[in-house]
Amino acid sequence: MLDFNFATYTEICAELGLRLKRQRLAQAITQKDLAASAGVAVGTVKNMESTGLRLWNLPFAL
């Protein structure tokens, strides 16, 4: 588990992207369905899961 107190912005974003993907898979949600629920493009979901950037919309869809 990442210690957010000592992590860089990039490390935190990457960790959040991994957590997003794990949660999506645990709930058996496709990237397409998650994107539709969050009102974003599928490419945005893919980008968030791989880089962790721009995570402000998707947590509310889960």
11-39 residue pLDDT tens: 888 888 899 999 999 999 999 999 999 99
Answer whether residue 57 shows pLDDT above 60: no
C-alpha to C-alpha distance for 47 and 55, rounded to whole angstroms: 10
Q: What is the pTM of this model?
A: 0.74
Would you state the structure tokens that stand for residue 40, as one six-digit string? Answer: 């974003």
- CA diameter of the chain: 34
Element containing residue 25 per DSSP (H, E): helix 9-26
- The amino acid present at 18, given as its one-letter code, is L
Q: Determine contact, residues 35/41, Cβ cutoff 8 Å.
A: yes
